[in-house]
Structure 1
Amino acid sequence: MKPFKALVMLEDGTYFWGRSFTGRGESFGEIVFNTGMTGYQEILTDPSYYGQIVTMTYPLIGNYGINSEDMESEKIHVAGFIVREYQPFYSNWRAEKSLGNWLSENGILGIEGIDTRALTRHLRIHGAMKGGITTETLDPKKFLEKIKESPAYVGRDLVRYVTCNKVYYYGKKGKENFKNFKGEGKYKIAVIDCGLKLNQLRIFVEKGAECLIFPAYTSSEEILSYNPDGIFVSNGPGDPGALTKIVSTVKELLGKKPLFGICLGHQIIGQALGATTYKLKFGHRGINNPVLNLFNKKVEITSQNHGFCVKKEELPKEAIVTHVNLNDNTLEGIFVPELKLMSVQYHPENAPGPHDSIYLFDSFLKLVEGEIENLYP
């Protein structure tokens, strides 16, 4: 595909010149960076990135192509993609097409030739901010005006753009139309879909569960009417402080059934417990984030993707902090035995990332069975 001159610009006026490897276009969103060396397909299809333009810090992207097995949702959710060098000649036995062709087919603008080290350093110093990428408005002053007029990321409910439209079932055969729980699983898990990743459902099924997935704005009464054994609150995009309706629903569910939350689900649970959230300067995004398990003092290398955090000092006294981030000591996990509730800020389902924390799915299913001891081995 013919390359087109492209402009990458931040809302503070900083800009970089590069070239598009996906055709022409223009897009706006919060510009963030991810430190993963692999996993670009999973990142691009992770609904948590809705409304964001992702910069990869690893310098060569695209070398293993795209395949139909590594999708974490049904489509691409990022607003744009920035890399140092794009590799169109992929080599992998599972690959079906190139990254560039896939992005182009889906109308997603991909930019290469950017000094991603300089861009990442700027974001680390000044914080994540709004920005844009374009092949159309190449006058920096005019493009900056467009960026400033684009929607803010903070304060918006973005879950409504990524949650499912109706209830559906996920079991041994994957996604199916909803009829009811089939009874093929040992555990019946109700899932509140705030923008979930498919590997979360796959792991639940592998471990003997079957899942009924609900749109994020489903009432607590409807969820409980199916008498699930446990309730899972998924990851998702945007500012958790804007999700007042979902927080109210989860607050109504506290103590009714065992509860497990990941990433945005963790932030929603934190708010339901009475704490507030705040925006991190540049967030945690990558597959190499060290987290300390406070029960066994072991370090878990984790996959993360979040720009907000729960204020741990505002949690109620009955909430036990289970994990902390070793880079900045922020909250990474909560356990409330009395409520049979647990949550983590990171992604134990990996995809992409290490498998250090996958035990948390077993821990939640133990919680469903009534155990409250030795959940964090």
Structure 2
Amino acid sequence: MSDAYVALEGGSVVEARCRAPGTSHGELVFTTAYTGYEESLTDPSYEEQVLTFSYPLIGNYGVRTERFEDDRVHPRAVVARELTDDVAEWLADEGVPAVDHLDTRDLVGQIREGGAMKCGISAGPDASPEQAKEALADCPGMSEHTDIGAQVSVADATTYEGGDGPDVALIDCGAKGSIVDSLLARGATVHVLPYDVSPEKVAAFDPDVLFISNGPGDPANFEAARALVEEFAGEVPLAGICLGQQIIARALGGTTEKMAFGHRGVNQPVRDLRTDRVVMTTQNHGYTVAEPGPELDVTQVNVNDDTAEGLESDDLNVITRQYHPEANPGPHDSLDFFDDVLAMAGDGCRTPAAAAD
């Protein structure tokens, strides 16, 4: 007899095994990553989502806090073909429901066919299909999370001292820790600021670069960050990753749209339109830039579907990426993005090798 149930938008209920008890709901998405489960589970961009791993075994190299991107698990629940005890115990300690022993190949196929969907999960000794359906009925759409930034952002400004490189104001819309680490490794000083910080408070830091981070949800719900871009565009160099690219594009006259099932995994191929070089990238997003607007040029595209992966403007000093150049555990094909970002601030930037000297 099953002790876990996943109710899917559309009416079906899938039986599973409980690995961490609880009742939850969220947008059901999948990742193709076969490593980096610790990084995925602590990525703030998964807030309000239920994460399905397409790789059949999750947890085969344990759980180590030094690999975390944030200090907590962000998906509302976790689905896998098989979870090891290490990961199951971690999720139980975090209060995040987790289930396994179901056909994730079929589940991923349904998501690819019908798009990311709402789901409800009931797991534990008292679990029932009815509880899962009730959780599903209470599940809002991602665009309805109008203040999702408050769930993932720092409450107060925090400064991380680097070397003698530029000062970066990082607007925390759900920033991964690896972004801060990548900037610090190049000698930058990073001011991590709340997602709804005012232009006046940003100006008080006198940043050399304004950096809009990754994060969860619909970019249309991050109006404060959009206002910052409008305020500082052309005055301070601008950079963005993932959600940050979408916010910058919207602020500069572009549009965004929700994708059918998004890009999530560590094997997304991206082509640079100027060099024809293809790099493999880590991605986690459900929205994309539909039109970049008059101020930005598309410089990189996804090989699989031609969506915009890189935007730039020489006139406004803007550079953005839809993927995650800072990806851990990898690939690291695109780490030079951070060199390009800091180069916009002038000669104060040092590469990691130079900093080590």
TM-score tier after normalising by the smaller chain length: over 0.9
Preserved contact between residue 295 and residue 322 of structure 1 (Cα < 8 Å): yes
Counterpart of 1:20 in structure 2 is 18
Deviation, 1:366, is 1.2
Matched, 1:66 2:63: yes
RMSD: 1.7
Q: Specify which of 317, 326, 336 is matched with residue 349 of structure 1.
A: 326
Counterpart of 2:100 in structure 1 is 112
Q: Specify which of 124, 127, 131 is matched with residue 112 of structure 2.
A: 124
Residues 75-112 of structure 1, C-alpha deviations (whole Å, 9 max, x = no match): 11110111101223xxxxxxxxx212111111011111
Distance (Å, rounded) in 1 between the aligned partners of 2:88 and 2:129: 25
Distance (Å, rounded) in 2 between the aligned partners of 1:114 and 1:213: 40
Counterpart of 2:138 in structure 1 is 149
Deviation, 1:161, is 0.7
Per the alignment, in what secondary structure is the counterpart of residue 232 of structure 1? Answer: strand
Preserved contact between residue 23 and residue 135 of structure 2 (Cα < 8 Å): no
Change (3 A) 1:74 1:145: closer
Residues 181-239 of structure 1, C-alpha deviations (whole Å, 9 max, x = no match): xxx43211111000000111111011111101110101112101211111111000011
**1:261-340 superposed matches below 5 A:** 261-312=240-291, 314-316=292-294, 318-340=295-317
Counterpart of 1:235 in structure 2 is 214
Counterpart of 1:45 in structure 2 is 42
Deviation, 1:139, is 4.5
Q: Specify which of 4, 7, 10 is matched with residue 5 of structure 2.
A: 7
Distance (Å, rounded) in 1 between the aligned partners of 2:94 and 2:121: 16
Q: Give the counterpart letter for 2:223 in structure 1.
A: T
Q: Give the counterpart letter for 2:293 in structure 1.
A: L
Distance (Å, rounded) in 1 between the aligned partners of 2:313 and 2:345: 14
Counterpart of 1:103 in structure 2 is 91
TM-score, length-scaled by structure 1: 0.88
Of 343-352 and 117-126, the range deviating more from structure 2: 343-352
Change (3 A) 1:122 1:104: same
Q: Give the counterpart letter for 2:17 in structure 1.
A: R
Per the alignment, in what secondary structure is the counterpart of residue 250 of structure 1? Answer: helix
Of 153-162 and 205-214, the range deviating more from structure 2: 153-162
**1:153-192 superposed matches below 5 A:** 153-157=142-146, 158-171=148-161, 184-192=163-171
Preserved contact between residue 47 and residue 196 of structure 1 (Cα < 8 Å): yes
Distance (Å, rounded) in 1 between the aligned partners of 2:205 and 2:226: 20
Distance (Å, rounded) in 2 between the aligned partners of 1:57 and 1:142: 25
Distance (Å, rounded) in 1 between the aligned partners of 2:12 and 2:106: 11
Deviation, 1:138, is 4.7
Q: Which runs of 5+ in 1 are unaligned?
A: 89-97, 173-183, 372-377
Preserved contact between residue 120 and residue 139 of structure 2 (Cα < 8 Å): no
Q: Give the counterpart letter for 1:83 in structure 2.
A: A
Preserved contact between residue 18 and residue 111 of structure 1 (Cα < 8 Å): yes
Matched, 1:220 2:199: yes
Per the alignment, in what secondary structure is the counterpart of residue 311 of structure 1? Answer: strand
Matched, 1:193 2:183: no
Residues 120-140 of structure 1, C-alpha deviations (whole Å, 9 max, x = no match): 000000000110211267543
Per the alignment, in what secondary structure is the counterpart of residue 265 of structure 1? Answer: helix
Distance (Å, rounded) in 2 between the aligned partners of 1:69 and 1:323: 32
Per the alignment, in what secondary structure is the counterpart of residue 326 of structure 2? Answer: coil
Counterpart of 2:81 in structure 1 is 84
Distance (Å, rounded) in 1 between the aligned partners of 2:161 and 2:113: 45
Distance (Å, rounded) in 2 between the aligned partners of 1:258 and 1:345: 18
Deviation, 1:353, is 2.5
Q: Give the counterpart letter for 2:119 in structure 1.
A: G
Q: Give the counterpart letter for 1:129 in structure 2.
A: M
Distance (Å, rounded) in 1 between the aligned partners of 2:76 and 2:7: 14
Distance (Å, rounded) in 1 between the aligned partners of 2:31 and 2:201: 37
Deviation, 1:15, is 2.3
Distance (Å, rounded) in 2 between the aligned partners of 1:273 and 1:242: 16
Question: Aligned residues, how many?
Answer: 346
Preserved contact between residue 155 and residue 241 of structure 1 (Cα < 8 Å): no
Preserved contact between residue 245 and residue 321 of structure 2 (Cα < 8 Å): yes
Q: Give the counterpart letter for 1:302 in structure 2.
A: T
Residues 231-269 of structure 1, C-alpha deviations (whole Å, 9 max, x = no match): 111000011122223212221121121111000011100
